[in-house]
Amino acid sequence: MNAPVTYSGGDGLSFDDAIIIVGANVVSGPRAEHDYIQGRFPGYEFHRQCLKEHKGRKYDLLEFTTAAGESKAMYFDISAHHLAKRQ
């Protein structure tokens, strides 16, 4: 059984303040990103996810609209698990 993922880093509003998902892999990482957003913005509407590179690190950028209608984007640093083997 895999240990649950945890979150560290910043608020996710920029590359430099990206959220880091600790303990994730290529399978659990994307789910953890959506779980994080759902926890902060219940009822959000997902729009798109893009893979970005910045200063040699890999990021997922998720764009969505909150239940209140506000457009948001959150950065997740996925460098640690981006190319990790599926477990």
C-alpha closest to that of 72 among 81, 63, 85: 63
Average pLDDT per consecutive 10 residues, the chain (87 residues; last block may be shorter): 82 97 87 96 97 96 98 95 57
| Number of domains present in the structure of the chain | 1
Q: How far apart are CA 87 and CA 36, in angstroms?
A: 21
pLDDT at 84: 54
Model pTM?
Answer: 0.87
The tokens describing 7, both together, are 């979150």
C-alpha closest to that of 45 among 25, 69, 28: 69
C-alpha closest to that of 25 among 43, 42, 11, 5: 5
How far, rounded to the nearest angstrom, does the alpha carbon of residue 19 sit from its chain's CA centroid?
6
Domain interval for residue 23: 6-77
- Would you say residue 51 lies in a domain? yes
- Would you say residue 35 lies in a domain? yes
